[in-house]
Amino acid sequence: MTTMEAIGPRPKRALDPARIMIYSVLIVAALYYLLPLYVMVMTSLKGMPEIRLGNIFAPPVEVTFEPWIKAWDTACTGLYCEGLKVGFWNSVQILIPSVIISIAIASVNGYALSFWRFRGAEVFFTILIFGSFIPYQVMLYPLVIITRELGIFGSLAGVIFIHTIFGMPILTLLFRNYFASLPQELFKAARVDGAGFWGVFLKIMVPMSPPIFVVAIILQVTGIWNDFLFGVIFAGTQNFPMTVQLNNIVNTTQGVKEYNVNMAATILTGGVPLLIYFLSGKYFVRGIAAGAVKG
C-alpha cells in the first residue's frame, strides 16, 4: 500500500474505539433502566392466572386492560374502593395552586434579590439557601404545630402552604441566578424610562424569562407530584395525593396480592412526571442542573 499524501479533510473512521465504548456503556445503562419498566408494563397487561406462572419477562399471552381499569376505578385503599382516581384529582388540586403560588413568590424574590439590593439582602439570601440544606424531618413537627395554629393542618390549604414554603429556597436561587445573568444596564434603562418595581418586573423581566419559568414549573410539578411525606402528614385523609393512595393500594394486606393492578397503578402515578420529562426535553435537563446546585 502506498502512503497517501494528506490532503483535505481528515478521513473519519466509522467506529473508533472511543465511540464503541460510549455506545456499549449507554446501551447497558439503557437496558438496566428499561428492564423494570418492561416488566411492569408486561405484568400490568396480564391476568392473575398468567402471572402465577411466574415468568415475569414473558409478554402476555392474552392482553387485558382490566388491571388498569381496576387500578383507576375500583382498587381498594383501606376502607374505600374507589381506585386511584380520587388520589389523582387530589394531587391535581394540590399541584396547581402550589406551583403557581410558589413560582409567583419565588420569581419576585429572585428579581428583588438581583436588582433591588435592599439592606440585608445578602443575609436574607444566605438564610434562604441555608434553609434548603436543613433536612425536612427536622422541620416537620414545628410545621405541624404552625399549621395547626393557623387552622390549616390536615387540609388542602395546609399542604399547599407547606409545598410553597419548601419550594422557596431552590426556586428563589433559580430565579435570582437567572435574573443576575440578565444585564444590569437593562434594568437601569428601564428605570430611566420610568418603570418602577412592578413595571420593570412585569414588562421587562418576565417577558425575557420564559425559559426559567419553564424550568421552575418542571421542577415544582415533578417534585410536588412525587411528594409523599408532606401529603401524608399535612393534607388530611380526605385529600391524600396519588402517591399516598398508591402506597395504600400496594400495601393492602387483605386478600391476594394483585401484581397486575399494582403495576398499573404505579405506572399511572408515575405518568405525570413521565409526561413532563418527555414533553420538556432540554428544559428538563436545565431543571436537573439547577436542582444539582441545591446539593
Partner 1 sequence: MTATDKSIEIKNLSLNFGDLKVLEDLNLEITDGEFLVLLGASGCGKSTLLNCIAGLLDISDGQIFIKGKNVTWKEPKDRGIGMVFQSYALYPQMSVEGNLSFGLKNAGVPRAEIAERVARAAAVLQIEPLLKRKPSQLSGGQRQRVAIGRALVREVDVFLFDEPLSNLDAKLRAELRVEIKRLHQRLNNTMIYVTHDQIEALTLADRIAIMRGGKVQQLDTPHVIYNHPVNKYVAGFIGSPGMNFMQGKFNGGDKPLFATGGLDVDLSRYNFENGHALEGSEAWLGVRPEHVSVGQDAAQKAFSQEIQVEVVEPMGSDTLVWTTLADQEFRFRMDGQKNVEVGETLNIGFDPVSASVFDVQTENRL
Give the footprint of partner 1 on this chain (CB under 8 A).
183, 185-186, 188-195, 199, 203-204, 207-208
Report in angstroms how near the CB of residue 58 gets to partner 1 at its nearest: 56
Report in angstroms how near the CB of residue 180 gets to partner 1 at its nearest: 15
Nearer to partner 1, 68 or 179 (CB): 179
Q: Give Cα separations from 124 to 162, 167, 169 (angstroms).
A: 20, 16, 11
Q: Are 60 and 48 in contact (CB under 8 A)?
A: no
Q: Are 75 and 87 in contact (CB under 8 A)?
A: no
For helices 85-115 and 242-250, angle between their N-to-C axes, nearest 10 degrees? 140
Nearer to partner 1, 23 or 197 (CB): 197
Report in angstroms how near the CB of residue 187 gets to partner 1 at its nearest: 8
Nearer to partner 1, 41 or 206 (CB): 206
What gap in Å lies between CA 153 and CA 146, rounded to an integer? 8
Bridge-partner residues for 77, per DSSP? 80
Report in angstroms how near the CB of residue 87 gets to partner 1 at its nearest: 40
Nearer to partner 1, 189 or 279 (CB): 189
Report in angstroms how near the CB of residue 189 gets to partner 1 at its nearest: 4
**In 3D, which of 119, 236, 224, 120 has the Cα closest to residue 171?**
224
User: In terms of residues, how long is the chain?
Assistant: 295
Nearer to partner 1, 164 or 209 (CB): 209
